Structure 1
Amino acid sequence: MKKLIFIAALFSALSIYAKPAKKVKIGIAKIVQHVALDDIERGVIDAIKDAGIDADYDLQNANGDVGTAAQIANQFKAEKVDVAVGIATPVAVALATAIKTTPVVFGTVTDPVGAGLVSTVEHGQRNVTGMSDAIPTEQHIKLFKEAAGIKTLGYIYTSNEDNSASALSLVEKGCKEAGINLVTQSITKSDEVKQAAEAIVNRVDGIYLSTDNTVFSAIASLVNVFGKAKKPIFSGDVTAAKEGGIFMASGFNYYKAGRATGEMVVKILKGAKPASLPVKFMTDPSDSDFLIDLDSAKNCEISIDQKYIDSANFIYQNGKLSEK
């Protein structure tokens, strides 16, 4: 009897790593289209492909609209996708609300507990698990103060997103710890970003950007406003800084985060239960990038300490990006 139980347990364990025999269908939805979220999507697909899984994809973009996100969730439910992937909080919440049995894997959700997706990051909940894009906001603000000498920090956030509300509390905490003033401006959609930047730029020494997807979907307008005012920008999303105009950026590599999310999908397709998989965090130093924009520093009349340049793996200078 003990031998039979052992064999059964061994078979069950091995089934988690068995290759799916049939072509699977995967729905991937993101809240908006911008470089970081595109990198997440690409990483998910590449990880699944590299695992040797034959898959068809339904790729959807909610264009920043929560109602559209709900429609996409119902579409995935009707199509009976094998796994539904939600990139960013509003889409992930829409999927988890509509889909109760099919596995739902979220990507780039800053506060999955606060969003109600899981009750703890120690493991998934029912059919839901995923990857968090929580960033060290307090450390970023301290670094920004040290490098640029700011005394008053600006922050623009999307007031109707749980992700942004959670990030705001971290920014407030970071400013308090750093002993600097905070000036905030709320928005509800991407076409308000330029107006918000114009409203705040003359009241601050610089602006901090967390991983707010609505803000980043209109990042060019914000960079233009602060560039003209010669005020520095610190971004928690390095992908947005690779086009120039952002003084300093530190954050994890979104493509690697996409691959980590895709690897969770692979485990589920091979038999693992979402509830058994803990929320993934990008904590390894190799998962992160650090960028210094010397053109922006010159425009803002900031002298960069050599220690920051030495520690950066991306340098933007003379209109070109180089990687160490």
Structure 2
Amino acid sequence: MKLRKVLALAAAAVMAVAALASCGVKEDSSNDSKAGGSSEKHYKIGIVQIMEHTSLNTIRDAVIDRLAELGYVDGKNCTIDAQQANNESTTVQQILDQFKADGDDIIIAITTPCAQLAAPYSEEIPVVFSAVTDPIGAGLCDSLESTGANITGTSDKLAITKILDFALEMKPEIKTLGYLYNTGEDNSVSTLKEVKAYCEEKGITVIEGAASNTSEVQEAAQNLAAKCDAVFSPNDNTIAGAMGTVTEVMNKAKVPMFVGADSMVMDGGLGTVGIEYSDLGKETANMAAQILSGEKKASEIPIKVFNEDLSTYINKTTADTIGITIPDDIANGEKTVYFN
């Protein structure tokens, strides 16, 4: 009888320890959930960008790094499938189809072309876009405050007046301005209207130079360099992907090349006024995390336009090469950033 009683007490003790261990597991799971989604959930995140170039790679890397900071770590509690489409719309479509087939929980579309192609998928999968210059003009929403659909994102709308004011301060004698772009990119077309309006007020003639793909960029750049006092290119993916070629042409002709993105300055453009592109990626990731955690729906998150706290970016090597002297107020500015 005593032996049976001892065994019964031992069994009860084992059951009590097991119950306490079970409670401990539940508590840890709750903590994981606060850090970035329940440990029981494995998220699938699809990222698509139109092509490889510095601006887009900066955004993509910032998205992935920020997601990790928020608890969504690739290979741990999520799978991040980041792909680029070699500037081919059909390839973007194939990538998006694969994201859908894989059952992705969210799609992050970098650039206007990718966002436009991803928009129809938002009926089933939340879409967060990044680096869309004109979300309303691109047909992605009717309002920046509330998209009314399962889509939101960040905008890199250019501060055209500030960029061109900067260009005139760097080279006051500009009378002809070349506009180098791809007519197939809606963001570049919408920006052209603003550039023409500004130049009309200043008495500057705008000469367009179109390139439908990277193989046409060199010829278009050479034509503009021969006719213009300066050249401007917006956040155009085709031009950004060929900045090495453009820089070589402009530097040889001693023509200043003003651009839309800090990364395009990094790649050889003379300068711009704008945002740091890693900030776009960070905010895009913040939005994605809110959606994945269930904190908010995409339709409840306003589109973020980055048009404040701007910096001036200058490529010092390019300035020296083409013989541009940087005015003191720009050179000594608190928000002036140099690339070499």
TM-score, normalised via structure 1 length: 0.88
Match of 2:52 in 1: 33
Q: Choose from 240, 259, 265 the match for 2:282.
A: 259
Q: Choose from 173, 188, 208 the match for 2:197.
A: 173
In structure 1, what residue type is equivalent to 2:197?
A: K
Deviations 1:13-64 (A, max 9, x none): xxx9784211201000000101110111111111211111232111111110
Q: How does 1:31-70 map to 2 (within 5 A)?
A: 31-53=50-72, 54-70=77-93
In structure 2, what residue type is equivalent to 1:112?
A: P
How far apart, CA to CA, are the structure 1 residues paired with 2:166 and 2:264? 18
Match of 1:305 in 2: 327
How far apart, CA to CA, are the structure 2 residues paired with 1:46 and 1:141? 33
Q: Choose from 61, 65, 77 the match for 2:100.
A: 77
Deviations 1:213-249 (A, max 9, x none): 1110011111100100011111221112224x43222
Match of 1:290 in 2: 312
How far apart, CA to CA, are the structure 2 residues paired with 1:229 and 1:19? 52
Match of 2:157 in 1: 134
Q: Indicate if the aligned counterparts of 2:311 and 2:337 stay in contact, CA closer than 8 A.
A: yes
In structure 2, what residue type is equivalent to 1:248?
A: G
How far apart, CA to CA, are the structure 2 residues paired with 1:247 and 1:161? 23
The structure that has the greater radius of gyration is: 2
Q: Indicate if the aligned counterparts of 1:142 and 1:174 stay in contact, CA closer than 8 A.
A: no
In structure 2, what residue type is equivalent to 1:216?
A: A
In structure 1, what residue type is equivalent to 2:275?
A: F
TM-score, normalised via structure 2 length: 0.84
Q: Indicate if the aligned counterparts of 1:124 and 1:130 stay in contact, CA closer than 8 A.
A: no
How far apart, CA to CA, are the structure 2 residues paired with 1:234 and 1:251? 12
Q: Choose from 225, 228, 231 the match for 1:207.
A: 231
In structure 1, what residue type is equivalent to 2:66?
A: A
Match of 1:97 in 2: 120
Q: Secondary structure at the match of 1:57?
A: strand
Q: Secondary structure at the match of 1:183?
A: strand
Unaligned runs of 5+ in 1: 1-15
Q: Choose from 194, 204, 222 the match for 1:198.
A: 222
Q: Secondary structure at the match of 2:235?
A: coil
Unaligned runs of 5+ in 2: 1-32
In structure 1, what residue type is equivalent to 2:53?
A: H
Match of 2:37 in 1: 20
Q: Indicate if the aligned counterparts of 2:37 and 2:71 stay in contact, CA closer than 8 A.
A: no
Match of 2:139 in 1: 116
Q: Secondary structure at the match of 1:105?
A: strand
Q: Secondary structure at the match of 1:314?
A: strand
Q: Choose from 247, 251, 263 the match for 1:239.
A: 263
Number of residue-to-residue matches in the alignment: 299
